[in-house]
Amino acid sequence: MHELAITQSIVDAITDRVGDGRVRMVHLEIGALAGIVPDSVCFCFDLVSEGTGLAGAELEISRPKGRSRCRECGSEFEHEDPIAACRCGGVDLDVLSGRELRIVSVEVV
Amino acid sequence: MCRTCGCGEDEDVRVYEPTEAGHEHPRTREHEHGHEHPHSRHARTIELGVPVLAKNDELAARNRERLKEIGAFAVNLMSSPGSGKTTLLERTIRALDGARPVCVVEGDQETPLDAQRIRATGCRAVQINTGAGCHLDAVMFADALDRLGPPADALVLTENVGNLVCPALFDLGEQARAVIASVTEGADKPLKYPHMFQSADLLILNKIDLLPYVEFDVEQFAANARRVNPRVRIMHVSATRGDGLGAWTEWLLGRT
């Protein structure tokens, strides 16, 4: 359940920046290959944010797709699964996107 | 509450050197707090654009730098519980026989048992008990390094909490990651836990002395591991019998 630690990091990072400000919305980016379950983050968020300026804030989670370049044939392709193969059969991949785990912005009142 | 003295410390992470008789109150994690306090009544958007694990990653980079400065090399050993990490460490320390200074960081949710086993070999070790936590992080590793004070050229062998999911996400500041699997587990583990196996620099297949007694397809395991991490090096060892330890200790001695 690393989502609990991840969500704690999200709340800590935002609190460090906005202090006592009341946060109404949090925009996160969690890539499809990041190994993080967005639903679990939402579940943990209610627990972790309790008693902070983030309590009751809405979570907006963007989900960038995985995109890789095949090291064998050089072609780029999208995939949702962390275990992917190129059309040429190559599995040695250079992951270009999909591992994002970022706090994009917050809306403060 | 603490079972030894009722001090109520076990909600927090504890980093300590276990002693046979004594019990100490280790340091707990401090919360850093250095922020502004804006008090606007109007909604406004603040662009942050920060990685969620930025704080951990910054500290991990500092840990790595600190190790590099003294020529030390840290390996983060990760596996499911029961793969034989501690036995491998005990055997490794004996096999190295002082060829390079070794110190050990042991991570478990509870008990000083593993660090005690390592200290019984004469090696310096600290125990991190994560309490409810399922992985080590860069703050805990920094605390452990403070306690250990690794000597120049040391190997800092770090046994993460037995778990094939969460530890993969948290950089400690190690210079290499070794994932340990054992033949008593399924050969499909790399496919089931791809994030962990993808992050490995080295894969150690342990308990090969048990191969005659279990149904474990070594070739299939290697194929599965290379499906998620095509260039990973795989070593076969038996930590209890000593098979394959030469390649492993040679690898450790060659790390700078």
Which helix (H) or strand (E) segment holds residue A14: the answer is helix A2-18
In this complex, do B198 and A82 lie within 8 Å of one another by their Cβ atoms? yes
In this complex, do A12 and B228 lie within 8 Å of one another by their Cβ atoms? no
Per-residue pLDDT, B14:
85
Per-residue pLDDT, A1:
66
A contacts of B52 (beta carbons < 8 Å):
6, 9-10, 13, 28, 101-103
pLDDT confidence band for B32 (50 / 70 / 90): very low
In this complex, do A21 and B49 lie within 8 Å of one another by their Cβ atoms? no
Q: How many CB pairs under 8 A join A and B?
A: 111
pLDDT in tens, A56-69: 999 999 999 999 99
Neighbour order of strands in the sheet with A76-79: A76-79, A66-70, A93-97
Distance of alpha carbon B15 from the chain centroid: 14
pLDDT in tens, B152-161: 999 999 999 9
In this complex, do B47 and A104 lie within 8 Å of one another by their Cβ atoms? yes
CA distance A65 to chain B (A): 16
In this complex, do B46 and A17 lie within 8 Å of one another by their Cβ atoms? yes
B contacts of A15 (beta carbons < 8 Å):
35
Residue B179 and residue B225 in contact, taking contact as beta carbons nearer than 8 Å: no
What mean pLDDT value characterizes chain A? 94
Max intra-chain CA distance, chain B: 71
CA distance A3 to chain B (A): 9
pLDDT in tens, A40-96: 999 999 999 999 999 999 999 999 999 999 999 999 999 999 999 999 999 999 999
* Chain B: residue whose CA lies nearest to A25: B45
pLDDT at B25 over 90: no
CA distance A35 to chain B (A): 7
Q: What is the pTM of this model?
A: 0.87
Per-residue pLDDT, A101:
96
Smallest Cα–Cα separation from B108: which of B95, B99, B96, B117? B117
pLDDT at B100 over 90: yes
What mean pLDDT value characterizes chain B? 89
Per-residue pLDDT, A21:
86
Which helix (H) or strand (E) segment holds residue A7: the answer is helix A2-18
A contacts of B230 (beta carbons < 8 Å):
91-92
Q: Where are the domains of chain B?
A: 54-253
Per-residue pLDDT, A93:
95
Q: Give the best residue of B13, B44, B46, B52 to mutate against chain A (max A CB count within 10 A).
A: B52
All structural domains of chain A: 2-65+97-108 (3.30.2320.50)
pLDDT at B31 over 80: no
Q: Which long-range contacts (CB under 8 A, 24 or more apart) does A9-12 make?
A: A9/B52, A9/B53, A9/B55, A9/B56, A10/A41, A10/A45, A10/A48, A10/A103, A10/B52, A11/A45, A11/A48, A11/A49, A11/A52, A11/A54, A12/B31, A12/B55
> For residues B76, B82, B86 and B87, what is the CA-based torsion angle, rounded to 10 degrees?
-130
Domain range B54-253, CATH class: alpha beta
What's the complex ipTM?
0.90
pLDDT confidence band for B80 (50 / 70 / 90): very high
Percent of the residues in chain A that have a pLDDT greater than 70, as a whole number: 99
pLDDT at B90 over 60: yes
Point out which residues pair with A108 in neighbouring strands: A23, B44
In chain A, DSSP finds a helix count (H) and a strand count (E) of 2, 6
pLDDT at B139 over 50: yes
pLDDT in tens, B216-253: 999 999 999 999 999 999 999 999 999 999 999 999 99
Of A5, A16, A36, the CB nearest to B133: A5
Query: Between the CA of residue B178 and those of B1, B18, B140, B199, B251, what are the distances in Å?
Result: 34, 25, 19, 9, 11
* Cα–Cα dist B100/B103, whole Å: 10
A contacts of B48 (beta carbons < 8 Å):
13-14, 17, 103-106
pLDDT in tens, A5-37: 999 999 999 999 998 789 999 999 999 999 999
B contacts of A105 (beta carbons < 8 Å):
45-49
pLDDT confidence band for B7 (50 / 70 / 90): very low
The count of residues in chain B is 256
The amino acid occupying position B139 is: V
pLDDT confidence band for B70 (50 / 70 / 90): very high
Residue B136 and residue B170 in contact, taking contact as beta carbons nearer than 8 Å: yes
CA distance A103 to chain B (A): 5
User: Which positions 69-108 of A are in contact with B (Cβ < 8 Å)?
Assistant: 82-83, 91-92, 101-108
